[in-house]
Amino acid sequence: MPRSRSRRDAPAPPEADRDLDPASPPLVPVRNAVRTYAAEQPELRTATEGYVDLVTSLLDEAGINYLSVTGRTKSVASFAAKAVRQVDGRPAYDDPLSEITDQIGIRVITYLRDDVDAVADLLSDQLTLLDDRDMGQETAADGRWGYASRHLLVTATPEPGASDDDPLRDRRASIQVRTVLQHAWAEFEHDIRYKGTISEEHLPDLNRRFALAAGLLELADREFSAIRDRVQATMTFRPPEPDAPAGGISPQELTTFLAATYTDAGWSRTDHYAWIAGLLRELDITSVEELDALLGSVDDDAVQELMGYRHPTGAVRRLDDALLSVFGSRYLELAGNAHRTDRLRARLERLWASAPPN
The tens-digit pLDDT sequence of the chain (358 residues) is 444 343 334 444 444 344 444 445 467 788 999 999 999 999 999 999 999 999 999 999 998 999 999 999 999 999 999 999 988 888 899 999 999 999 999 999 999 999 999 999 999 999 999 999 998 888 877 777 778 899 999 999 776 666 667 889 889 999 999 999 999 988 888 877 766 666 777 788 888 888 888 888 889 999 998 988 888 777 665 555 454 445 789 998 999 999 889 988 888 999 999 999 999 999 999 999 999 999 999 999 999 999 988 888 899 999 999 999 999 999 999 999 999 999 999 999 988 876 555 4
pLDDT value at residue 106 = 97
pLDDT value at residue 303 = 93
DSSP state of 68: E
Cα angle for residues 277, 279, 282 (degrees, 5° grid): 115
| Helices then strands, each counted (H, E), the chain | 15, 7
138-175 as b/e, with b when 16 or more CB fall inside 10 Å? ebeeeeebbbbbbbbbbbbeeeeeeeeeeebeebbbbb
* CA 315 to each of CA 50, 108, 144, 161, 284: distance values in angstroms, whole numbers, following the listed order: 27, 20, 36, 32, 21
Please check whether residue 251 is in contact with residue 274, taking contact to mean a CB–CB distance below 8 angstroms. Answer: yes
pLDDT value at residue 263 = 87
CA separation for the pair 216, 148 (Å, rounded) = 13
Domain with CATH 3.30.460.10 in the chain: 17-157+167-210
pLDDT value at residue 5 = 40
Which CATH superfamily hosts domain 17-157+167-210? Beta Polymerase, domain 2 (3.30.460.10)
Q: Is the pTM value of this prediction over 0.85? A: no
pLDDT value at residue 16 = 38
* Residues constituting the chain: 358
pLDDT value at residue 229 = 83
